[in-house]
Structure 1
Amino acid sequence: MGDGPWSVGDEGWRVMRRRRTAWWRRAKVWRRPAARARVAVVGALLLCMTAAVPGGAALAAGTPSPYAYAPDAQFVPGATGSAGAAPLTAGRTYRSSLPSDGKIYYSLELDAASDAYVSATAVPPAGSTIRPGDGIRVSVEDSDGRICSSDSETYGIVATARPLAAWAGREISVKPTRCATRGTYYVVLERINRVTSVPDPWDLELFAVTEPPLEQTGTTEAPKGWNSAPPTPLTGDAARREGGSGFASAASIGNGVWSSDIEPGRTLFYKVPLDWGRQLNATAELGSSSSGKGSAGGALNLSLYNPVHGFVDEASVTYDGRQKSAELDPPPPVAYENRYARLDPLNGMRFAGSYYLVVNLAAEVAEKYGEGPFRLTLRVRVEGASQTGPSYAGESQPEGLFQLGQGGTGGDQAAGTAGGTGSGADSAMTVLAVSGFGTGTVVLVVLGVWTVVARRRAAAL
C-alpha cells in the first residue's frame, strides 16, 4: 500500500482509530439538544444574512444583482412630507426606496454661497416590466415650496428595467437671485407613470454634493464654436476591461479601445477622467450573433453621466443579430461656463472629474438571440489640451470631486490608455459590503455564534 496516509501500518491503524473515535464523539455531541439548537441558530442567521443582502435570492441563484451600491451608503427613509424629512449630508451616498405613487422628501442644510446637487439613481427590481414613459423626477425646493431646479428621466421603448439617474440642485452660480439663502432645502422625488401604475417600489441610491463658489466670477456665457463633428473612430486591438455594476464600482478607462462581455439585462459602468478643456467621444459596439432572429428595439443603450451622477446624454440602437453601434453626439469640452447653456447635453459638462459611460443590453435580446454573453466594444477618444480650471474658494464635498488626481471621487488618473491593467469586476466582499450596516452586523453575529459552537465542540472532544 506504500507509505501514504492510507497505508495500514501500526501508526496507520492508530490514526484510523483516532478518526473513528473523534467521529463518534462528534456524533454524540450532535445528539445533544443544545448542540442542535446552536447549529440551527447559525443556519437561521446565515439565512437572514442572505435575505439581508439586496437581491440575496438572485445572488444565491447565480443571477447578477442589477446594481452595486456604494459600500458606505447608509439607508435613509423617504418621508411623505417635508415635516418628517430625513437629513442628507453633502459628500455622502445614501440608499432609500421610492414608492410607485406619491412624493417622498429629504432635507438638506445649505449655506448661502455653494452650489448643491443631488442625484437619484432608481433601480427597479430585476425582471420587472418597464413601460415607455416610466421614470423618475427629482426636485430641490426651498422652505417656501419654490422649485430651485427639477429634472426628470424616463425610459424609452425598452420594456426591461435598468438603473436610471436624474439630478437637481440649488445653483447659485447659474441663478443667483433664486434659492440663494442659507437654510433648509428639500429634495423631492416621485415616480413618473405615464401609462399605468407599476406597483413595485424601486430602490434608490442618493448622492449629495456641494460645489464651492469661485474666488473670482468670470464670464456667465456658455462657450461657442466648439467642434461638434464626430471624430474618426479609433481602431486597433481592444484591451480587456470588465465593467462595474454601479457608479461606485465603475471600471476606469481612458483613450483607447476596450472590450468586455455583456449579458442581456446587464448594465455596465465605466468612468473616464476628464480635465478642464478635454472633450470626450464614445461609441459602444455590440457583436453579431449567428443564431436567432427578429429585432429588439433600443436594445443597446449608451448613457453619459457627469461627476455628480447627473445625466448628460444617451444613444441607443435596435439589435437584429448584426453588429450594431451606439454613438454619443460629441459633447463640448469640459468647461465651468457650460452651466450657462440652456440644453442638457451642454450644461452637464460643467465639471472636471470622472465622467461615466453606462452601457445596458436589454433583456429582450435573450428572447431572440439567447443568453449570450455578447461581445461589447467601447471606443473612447479624449481630445483637447488640459486647461487651468477655475479657482474655487473652498472645498467640494466630497473633497477633490472636481480636481483630477486629488484623491476625490473624480480624481482618477489610473485609467491610462487601452492595454492597461485593472478590473471593475465586483468581488464577493464588495457584494457583502454594499448590503450596508444591517448585513454587516448579521455577519459578525454569525461569526461569533460559529466561534462559540466550535470552541464548545472542541472542549467536548
Structure 2
Amino acid sequence: MCRGAVAAAVLGLWAPSAVAADAEPSYGFAPDARTVPGVAGTAQAVPLTAGRVYRSSLPVSEAVHYRLDLDATSNAYVSATAVPPPDAAVSASDGVRVSVRDGEDHTCSSETETFGGGQSTRPLTAVAERLLNRARQRCATAGTYYAVVERVGTTAPDDAAWDLELAVYSEPALTRPEPTAAPEARSTESATPLTGEEVRRDGGTGFASAVGIGQGVWRTDLTPGQTVFYKVPLGWGERLQATADLAASGAGSRVVVGALELSLHSPVRAVLDGENLNFDGRARSASLDPTPPVAYENRYSSSDEVKGARFGGSYYLAVHLSARMTERFGAGPFAVTLRVRVEGAEQAGPAYGGQFAPRDVFAPVAGVGGASGLPSGGGGADDDDRTMTIVAVSGIGGGTAILAVLGVWTVAVRRRAVP
C-alpha cells in the first residue's frame, strides 16, 4: 500500500469517470489460468483449488463469490488481482476488497487495497486468509468457505467491469507447536542503496511472468501506464531492501504526482510495503524499508511489513509508471533503475508437516518427501538450469548476458557478497 498520504488526500477529491468497455488489459495473466464465473450468491459459487490460478471478472457494483473447500490442517490464502481497463479513471479511494467467509457468512479475514496517491490505473492486489487460529475456532474447522471479491470507492453505472486473477495457496501446519509471539523489534535502518554496473533486465507483465533477479543493480525502460514484475528469492533468515530510480527527463512545467510506484509482495502476493515518488523532470528515487529477516513468527506482528515476511520463497517487486507522465513529459520510454540488496545468513525453515500448494513459489520444505524449491535458486542442478533459463529468456545479449548469468547463478547457490 503506497504511503503518499498527502498525494492521496489531494487525489481523493477526484472522482472516476466512465471507461471504454473494449479496452485491452495490459496485465499478463497466468497462461494456465482457468476462466471461472463469479456469482452474486453462494449457491452457485464455483470451487477454487489450492495451487491453481483462475481468471474471472469483477462487476461494477456487485460482490462475486467463489467456493473454498478447506481442511482443518492447513492455512489458506486467497489473492485477488484486479485489473481495470488501461483507460479507466480512478480516484485515491477506489480499489478492491477480498474476504474469506465461513458457511454462515462470518468473516474470517478481509483486506482492502486502494490506488492511493497515484491517479494512474494499474493492477491492484489484495489477499485474505483462513488461519488455523485457536482464538478463532469458527474459522479453524474443515468445511465450506467462500472467497468474496468486490470493488470499493466511487463507481458509475456505465463503468466497465474489471478483470480478475485469483490465486489460492495452502500452507501446511507445523509438526511441532508453533511460536505464538511476534519477534522482537529489529532495526529498520536502511543501508546505502547498491551501486555498480547496471544490468539490463526487463520485467514481466504479471506475477506469473515475473522475471527472476537477485542482489544487484537492474535497468529497464518503462512507458507511461506500464507495470512490470520481478521476483527475488528469499530464504529463511534473509531480508530484502529495494530502491527504484527514475532518471531525469528534462524540466517539466508541472509535477506528476505518484509518477512511479514501487511495491513489494509476499509469496502469496500480499502487499508488504509500497512507496511512490513525484516527478518534475529531475532524477528521483523511491525506497522501501528493509524487510525483517524472513521468519515464521513474523505473522504475529501488527505491522504489514513484518507479518508479510512469514514465508521463505519468491518475493515480488512491482514497478508502475504513471500514465500521466505522457501529459507532462511525452510518451517515453523512461529509464528506471532497480537497486536490490539481499542480506542475512540463510537459516533452516520451520518444521512443516507437509508441502505448500503450489510448491514452486515457496522455499524448500525439508523432510517431507522432497523440496518445493525456489523458482530461481535453492541449490542443485535442476535449480541452476532453471535459473539459466530465466536469464536466457530475459532479452539480454552479448557480454552483458554472461555477467548477468553469473550474477543470478550466484544468487541461486546463495553465495552473495554484500558490497
> Structure 1 CA distance, aligned partners of 2:371 and 2:55?
23
Tell me which moved more, 123-132 or 265-274.
123-132
Letter in 1 for 2:149: L
Does 2:351 match 1:387?
no
Query: How has the CA–CA distance of structure 1 residues 174 and 424 changed in structure 2, closer, same or farther, with 3 Å as cutoff?
Result: farther
221-230 vs 313-322, greater mean Cα deviation: 221-230
- Higher mean alpha-carbon deviation, 326-335 vs 280-289, is at 326-335
1:402 maps onto 2:366 in alignment: no
Q: Which residue of 2 aligns with 1:340?
A: 300
Q: How does 1:419-434 map to 2 (within 5 A)?
A: 421-424=391-394
Instruction: Spell out the pairing of 1:49-448 with structure 2 (5 A cutoff).
Output: 65-173=25-133, 175=135, 177-194=137-154, 199-290=159-250, 292-404=252-364, 410-413=374-377, 421-424=391-394
Is the alpha carbon distance of 1:165 and 1:134 closer, same or farther for their aligned partners in structure 2, counting shifts above 3 Å?
A: same
- State the partner residue of 1:34: none
Structure 1 residues without counterparts, runs of 5 or longer: 1-54, 60-64, 426-461
Q: Verify the 8 A CA contact 1:294 1:368 in the aligned structure 2.
A: yes
Q: Deviations over 1:354-392 (max 9, x none)?
A: 000000000001110011111110000000000110111
Q: How many Å apart are 1:204 and its aligned residue?
A: 0.3
Post-superposition offset of 1:301:
0.4
**Alpha-carbon offset, residue 227 of structure 1:** 2.4
What does the per-residue CA deviation read over 1:323-353, in whole Å, with 9 as the maximum and x for residues that have no partner? 1111011221111111111121111111110
Look up the equivalent residue of 2:375 and give its one-letter code: G
Distance 1:409 1:135, change over 3 A: farther
- The AA in structure 1 aligned to 2:174 is L
Q: How far apart in 2 are the matches of 1:196 and 1:235?
A: 47
Whether the aligned pair in 2 keeps the contact of 1:353 and 1:412 (CA below 8 Å) is no
* 1:58 Cα offset (Å): 7.0
> Counterpart of 1:364 in structure 2: which amino acid?
R
SS at match of 1:84: coil
Q: CA deviation at 1:408?
A: 5.1
CA pair 125-424 structure 1, distance change in 2 beyond 3 A: farther
SS of structure 1 residue aligned to 2:203: coil
Please state how far the C-alpha of 1:137 moved relative to its aligned partner: 0.4
AA aligned opposite 1:323: A
Q: Contact (CA 8 Å) 1:398, 1:409: kept in 2 or not?
A: no
Partner of 1:451: none
Distance 2:233 2:133 in 1: 24
Asked which structure has the greater CA Rg, the reply is 1
State the secondary structure of the residue aligned to 1:345.
helix
Q: CA deviation at 1:310?
A: 1.2
Deviation at 1:309, TM superposition (A): 1.0
CA contact (8 A) 1:137 1:189 kept: yes
Contact 2:134 2:140 (C-alpha < 8 Å) held by counterparts: no
Cα distance in 2, alignment partners of residues 411 and 93 from structure 1: 17
1:215 and 1:161, CA in 2 relative to 1: closer, same or farther beyond 3 A? same
Query: Alpha carbons of 1:345 and 1:211: their partners in 2 closer, same or farther (altered >3 Å)?
Result: same
CA distance in 1, matches of 2:192, 2:364: 27
Q: State the superposition RMSD in angstroms.
A: 2.4
Q: For residues 194-246 of structure 1, give each alpha carbon's deviation from its aligned partner in whole angstroms, at most 9, with x where no partner exists.
A: 47677211000000010000010232111113221001111111111001000
- Which SS does the other structure have where 1:346 is aligned? helix
Q: Secondary structure at the match of 1:368?
A: helix
- Identical residues among aligned pairs (%): 49
Query: With structure 2 as the length reference, what TM-score do the two structures score?
Result: 0.82
Aligned 8 A contact 1:297 1:318 in 2: yes
Q: Are the structure 2 counterparts of residues 265 and 175 from structure 1 closer, same or farther at C-alpha, using a change threshold of 3 Å?
A: farther
Does the aligned pair in 2 maintain the 1:249–1:424 contact within 8 Å?
no
User: Aligned equivalents of 1:192 and 1:227: distance in 2?
Assistant: 35
Please give the alpha-carbon distance, in whole angstroms, between the structure 2 residues aligned to 1:176 and 1:213: 16
The answer (yes or no) to whether the contact 1:241–1:422 under 8 Å persists in 2 is no
CA distance in 1, matches of 2:214, 2:21: 33
Q: 1: distance between equivalents of 2:261 and 2:364?
A: 28
Normalized per residue, the structure richer in helix is: 1
How many angstroms apart in 1 are the aligned matches of 2:239 and 2:134? 22
Checking the alignment, whether the CA contact within 8 Å between 2:276 and 2:286 is kept in structure 1 is yes
Residue deviations 1:138-178 (CA, integer Å, cap 9, x gap)? 00000111111000000113222100000001011575524
Report what 2:9 is aligned to: none
Q: How far apart are 1:265 and its partner, in Å?
A: 0.4
Q: C-alpha distance in 1, partners of 2:149/2:76?
A: 16
Structure 1 residue 56: Cα displacement: 13
Question: Matched residue of 1:83: which SS?
Answer: coil
The residue identity in structure 2 corresponding to 1:73 is A
| Residue 409 (structure 1) shift | 7.8
> Helix, strand or coil: the match of 1:332?
coil
Bigger CA drift: 191-200 or 84-93? 191-200
